[in-house]
Each structure stands twice: as structure tokens, then as C-alpha cells.
Amino acid sequence: MTATRTLTTTRIGPDAELTEAFEQLAGRTKSGADSGGAADLLTAMAALPPGHPDRPALRDQAIEAFLPLARHLALRFHGRGEPLDDLVQTAMIGLIKAVDRWDPERGVDFAGYAIPTIIGEIKRHFRDRTWDVRVPRRLQELQLAISEATSKLTQTLGRSPTVADVAAHLDIGEEEVLEGLEGARAYNATSLSTPTTADGNTELGDTLGGADPEFELAELRVALGPALATLDDREQKILTLRFYGNLTQSQIAERVGVSQMHVSRLLARALTKLRGELGAAGSGF
């Protein structure tokens, strides 16, 4: 069983505590004398055709009736770095979606539909809006599963759980747990404007290195030796006089004993050979 499958099971199957709370809530009278309870509101609304003038009022009453359920679910995720007000608002969005989409003819009671819908909305909030650095959804859900498992195991074991404890609880490998913990580092990122010295004159961004052109030049020099060895002696001499001695083509012609035009042709041919050798070596010369 993977962590994702574990999360899916948690999201779809409401636990006994939530089911009991929902059943108590469904029996309360929230709509006045015209309706017997919260469950009756949903049934009455579902029985009305779309566009019926009574549907908006019943919808508002049903949402209000089940707000305690949304708050209860939001509290389960409190303490994970997000303000409770934001979690409650997100849970309410999930509740509204559940009220609008629930269809009694599918044979699923509202608890079995609303609770996973609300929890899914809260988890989507954590996945999409709270990570400073975007990571794959699998790692986000894995990190959330590890966080839940760590909290439960800390209470049951009376100590901080080990990687092996978490892996056994989630029925996954220890390497997968370590991967999830590593991915959790992307949840919060440090700003490049963070001061790194006591006087505040140096920021984190100032300590980051940049591209060094000398590295590319060093690689070219390493590749240049074998490439030069493919030239004949006269071509090597002409290149040396031109690029190391900084002589003009006329001066080279006098040293070698050929015409300036011939030196030009020799230089062009030698450089073409070098480019071919260095290109074949992948230097990008």
C-alpha cells in the first residue's frame, strides 16, 4: 500500500467520531417550523426542480446547519502552519460544494459525501497554496501522510517516532519516508533578502556564486592540447607566432619564409582543423 492509497482511504472513509457528530448534527432543527432538521433541508432541496424559487433559501439554511461540521474538520488540520480562519473558510468552500453536488439518488448519505469533499478541499489548500516551492503532488500528499502518522505515533508511543516507525505505520518503505521528509523542506523557503550578518549589510543572495567563465576556458585549454597535436609542425608554428607571439601575418611570413597570402591560407586551414577536432570533442569551440 502506498502513501497515496492511504491518503485516499482516509479521505473517503469518515471515521466513527465524525459520523457520530454528523448524525447528531443532522437531527438538529435549523430551519424553523417548516423543516424537521438539517437532513430534511437537503432532502427537500433535492426534491425541488432546478430554478425553483424555494431552492436558494433551503440551500442557505442547509449550509448554515452544517457549518459546525466544517469547523470540526478544519480543527483537525490546525497547527500545521495555516491560520485557523483560513482553514475554516476552506472547509466552508468544501461544504458548499458538497451541498450543491450531493445527489440522494446515488445512494450515498450526505456524511459519506460531505466529509471527504471538505477534507479534500482542505488538503487541496495545503497542496496548492502553502508550499513555497512547487513539488510533485505525490510528495505533497506523502509529506502530509508522514505528518499525520508522526502526530499519531508520538501520542501512542510516548516518544518521537523513528523513520522505521513511520514506514511501518504507513506500510511504505523507509526510503519513501526519507523522500517525503526531504520534500518537506520545500514547504518553507528562505528569502534571498534574509540578512546573514549582524549589521544586516550582507544578504543571503549576496553569498550565492555565479557563473565563472574561467571554467569554460579551462575546459577549452584541456581539449586544445590534443587538437594542436593533429596539426603539422608548420601549422603549429604559425599558430604559435600568431596567437602567442602576437605577430602579424606579414611578420610571420618573414619568419617562416613564405608569402603573407600563403600564411593567411595556412592559418585558415589550421583553424578549420582545430574547430573540427574541438567540435568532435564537444568543447563547443
Domain range summary for the chain, segments of one domain joined by +: 3-186, 213-280
- Cα 191 to its chain centre, rounded Å, is 17
Tens-digit pLDDT profile for the chain (285 aa)? 333 333 333 333 344 445 444 544 544 433 333 333 666 777 788 788 888 888 888 888 888 888 888 999 888 888 776 788 888 999 999 999 988 888 877 777 787 788 888 988 888 777 666 554 455 667 667 777 887 888 888 888 888 889 899 999 999 888 888 877 776 555 555 555 667 677 767 766 666 666 666 777 777 777 778 888 888 888 888 888 988 888 899 998 898 888 999 989 989 988 888 888 777 655 545
Residues 75, 80, 85, 91: is their CA dihedral positive or negative? negative
Distance, in Å, from the CA atom of 228 to the CA atom of 252, rounded to the nearest integer, reads: 18
Which of 71, 69, 80, 64 has its CA nearest to residue 115?
69
Q: What is the CATH number of domain 213-280?
A: 1.10.10.10
The architecture (CATH level 2) of 3-186 comes to Up-down Bundle (1.20)
Distance, in Å, from the CA atom of 113 to the CA atom of 127, rounded to the nearest integer, reads: 21
Q: 120 with 71: CB under 8 angstroms?
A: no
φ/ψ region of 284 (left if φ > 0, alpha if ψ in -120 to 50, else beta) reads left
Whole-number Cα distances in Å, 46 to 89, 93, 149, 206: 25, 19, 39, 62
Q: What residues pair up with 195 in beta bridges, in sequence order?
A: 203
As to burial, measured by CB atoms within 10 angstroms (0-12 exposed, 13-18 middle, 19+ buried), residue 282 is exposed
Distance, in Å, from the CA atom of 236 to the CA atom of 3, rounded to the nearest integer, reads: 65
Q: 257 with 250: CB under 8 angstroms?
A: no
Number of residues assigned to the chain? 285
Which of 122, 129, 59 has its CA nearest to residue 94?
122
pLDDT computed for residue 26 by the predictor = 45
Distance, in Å, from the CA atom of 196 to the CA atom of 108, rounded to the nearest integer, reads: 57
Number of Cβ atoms within 10 Å of the Cβ of 212: 9
As to burial, measured by CB atoms within 10 angstroms (0-12 exposed, 13-18 middle, 19+ buried), residue 126 is buried
pLDDT computed for residue 160 by the predictor = 86
